[in-house]
Amino acid sequence: MNLKEALQSKLSEEELKHLRTGFDVVGSIAIIEIPKELVKKEKLIAQTLLELNNSIKTVAKKVGIHTGEFRTQKLKILAGEKTKEAEYKESGCVFKLDAEKCYFSPRLSHERLRIASQVKKGENILVMFSGVGPYPIVLAKNSPAHQIIGVELNPTAHKYAVENVKLNKSLKKVSIYNGDVKRIVGVLGMDNIGIKSNWRHKHLLNRIKTGTKIIEFHLNENDLEQRFEQIRKEIKFLQERNIRVMVHQPVHYKNKFVTLGSRLDFETLSETTGKFLELIRGFDNCIGLVMQPAMTNSVKTSNSELIQNLITLSQQYPSFLDKVYFENVFTNTFSSVADIKSVVEKAKLKNICIDTAHFTNSKQNISQLINLVKELHNKVSIYFHIADSVGEIYNGSDCVNIEKGIIDFKSLAPFINFGIIETMSKDESKGKEIIRDYYKFAKIKKAQFDRIIMPLPKDASKFLKSAFYVAKKGTIIHFYAFAKEDKFKDAEKKLINSCKKLGQKIKILNIIKAGQIAPREFRICIDFEVV
C-alpha cells in the first residue's frame, strides 16, 4: 500500500489532489513536502508514512528552501524519533550527517557513481563544496583514483566529513579542507607541507586559518617537564580538526642539554626520549618526533656515538625508530651527505629530517641534496624543514625568508613531498613571516588536478576562476547548473562564455540530467575538458 492509498479514507478528494507522495529518505529520516493546503493534516500524513515504512524512524517536513551560504534547509519533525541526525548508506559507503545543518542529496547517488565510472587509474581529483564527503568517499571506494581532495565551507558538514572519511577507512585517498574554495585552492598543493608553530593555543588558531594540514610544535626549554598536559591538550585539539602534528625536541630537559650525538649524558637523553614518546601516546594524528644529534656546539659529538645512542634507544623503546626523524645539522656530526648515508645504514634508520638551510650552510648545494633524496627515498621517509639560507649564520640565524637566500626552490620543490615551513619569524605571536612563506611556497608547489567536480548548481560559475587555477590541459570538469528542459543549450553557451572571459578554451563532452527539481526543470551536469 502506498501513501495515497493509505490516506484514501482520511483525506478528502480535494486534499488528496494536493498530496505529494514523493519524498527523500536519508538513513532512517524521511523528508517530505507539505503544501499549504494540507498543513492542518501534516501530522496525520507523517504518522501514516511512518507506519507504512519499517525502515523509517523519523518523518520531517521541509520548511522553506535551501538558503544561506551553507545551502541548508530548515526541518520540522512531525512524527517518530526526535532526531535530525542520520546514518545513510550509498554505494558501499556509510555517511553520518545532520539533515538540517548539512546540505545532502540522496538523489545524486547515481550521479556520483557515473563520475566514479569515468575516473582513470592514478587521477588526482578536487571536489569543491564537498559537504559531508559523499563525492570524495564514493570516488575513493568505487574508482582507481590516487588522491581526492574535498573543500567545504560549512564547519558542521566538514566535521561530519572528517568523521565519515575515517568511518569509511578512506584516509589514504581522501583529504578534507574546511574553508572558502577561493582561498583554499591556493594551498591545495600543500597537503603534506605544514607550518612551524609553538604549542600555544592562540598561535595554533592563527596557523589553522591558512588551511594547513600539518603543524610542527617546537618545544621550548622545560616544556616537556612543566607543560606536558597542556601540550597534549593542544595535540587533541588539532586531532579533532584532522590536523597532523610533528613535535620537535626542546634544547633542554631539566636544565640539561639534550644531545643525541654524545654519550656524555645518556641518562638525560634516555629520559627525554621516553617523555617525548609518552607525549604523543594515544594520538593517531601525531606522526613523528624530530630530534637533532646536537643542539649546541659546546658538546663534542661524533657519528659513532650517535649511531651507538640510536641503537641503544631503539632497544629501550621499541617504537623509537618508527616515530623519530633525525635532523641534519650544519656542523659536526650528521651534517654531510656521507654522514647521513652512513648513519642511515648503520643505525637502520626509518626516518630522517632534512633542514634545507642546514644543508646549504654545511657547504653543500641543492644538486647534492636532490641526489641524496633520489638515493634514499626508497629506504627512509624524508621530512623537510623548508627554509632559505645565505650560506652562513645570518644575524644569529641560519634562516631567511624564502627567495631571500641562495636556495633554488623551483628545482628543489618537486622532490619535497613532506615537510614544514620553518622560516625564522620575527613575529612569533602571529607568525606573519612563516605564513607569508607558506603561501609563497604554495605557488611553487601549485596543485594541478586531473578532474574537478563542482556540485553547486546555483553559483558554480562564480568559482570557475578557482577551478582553472588548479586545472591543466586535459583536466575534466563536472560543472553543475539548473536549467529548464528546453534550455540546456543556453546553459552550455553561458558556460562557454564564462570560460572565454577567463581566457579559457573548453570542449563540451556531455550534458547529463542529474535530477528533476521542478516540472520540466532539472539539475544538469555539463562535463567539459580544458583545452
Helix (H) or strand (E) holding 159: helix 155-167
What per-residue confidence (pLDDT) applies to 301? Answer: 76
Using alpha carbons, list the distances in angstroms from residue 418 to 208, 360, 421, 444: 18, 19, 10, 14
Of 106, 149, 152, 112, nearest to 132 by C-alpha is 152
Q: Within a 10 A sphere around the Cβ of 356, how many other Cβ atoms?
A: 25
pTM of the model: 0.78
**HEC-encoded secondary structure of 323-378:** HEEEECCCCCCCCCHHHHHHHHHHCCCCEEEEEHHHHHHCCCCHHHHHHHHHHHCC
Superfamily classification of domain 3-83: Met-10+ protein-like domains (3.30.300.110)
What per-residue confidence (pLDDT) applies to 396? Answer: 66
How far is residue 128's CA from residue 162's CA, in Å, rounded to a whole number?
15
Q: What is the DSSP letter of 395?
A: T
DSSP characters for 486-524?
A: GGHHHHHHHHHHHHHHTT--EEEEEEEEEEEEETTEEEE
> Do residues 529 and 474 touch, judged by C-beta distance below 8 A?
yes
Q: Which residue has the cell 581532495?
A: 149
Does CATH number 3.20.20.100 belong to domain 192-444?
A: no
Same fold, 3-83 and 106-184+448-530: no
Pairing of strands 506-518, 174-178: unpaired
Pairing of strands 244-248, 476-484: unpaired
> Do residues 99 and 84 touch, judged by C-beta distance below 8 A?
yes
Helix (H) or strand (E) holding 451: strand 451-454
pLDDT tens for the chain, 531 residues long, are: 788 888 888 888 888 888 888 888 998 999 988 888 888 889 998 898 888 888 899 999 988 776 667 778 889 999 999 999 999 999 999 999 999 999 888 889 999 999 999 999 999 999 999 999 999 999 999 999 999 999 999 999 999 999 999 999 987 899 999 889 998 998 998 989 999 998 999 999 999 888 899 999 989 888 888 999 999 999 999 998 889 999 999 878 888 878 888 877 888 889 989 999 999 999 989 999 999 887 655 667 788 989 999 999 999 999 999 999 999 988 778 888 999 999 999 999 999 999 999 999 888 888 999 999 999 999 999 999 999 998 877 666 778 889 888 999 999 999 999 999 998 766 666 788 899 999 999 999 999 999 999 999 888 999 999 999 999 999 999 999 999 988 999 999 999 999 999 999 999 999 999 988 888 899 999 999 999
How far is residue 76's CA from residue 59's CA, in Å, rounded to a whole number?
9
What per-residue confidence (pLDDT) applies to 151? Answer: 95
The third-level CATH classification (topology) of the domain covering 106-184+448-530 is Rossmann fold (3.40.50)
The residues spanned by each domain of the chain are: 3-83, 106-184+448-530, 192-444
What per-residue confidence (pLDDT) applies to 479? Answer: 98
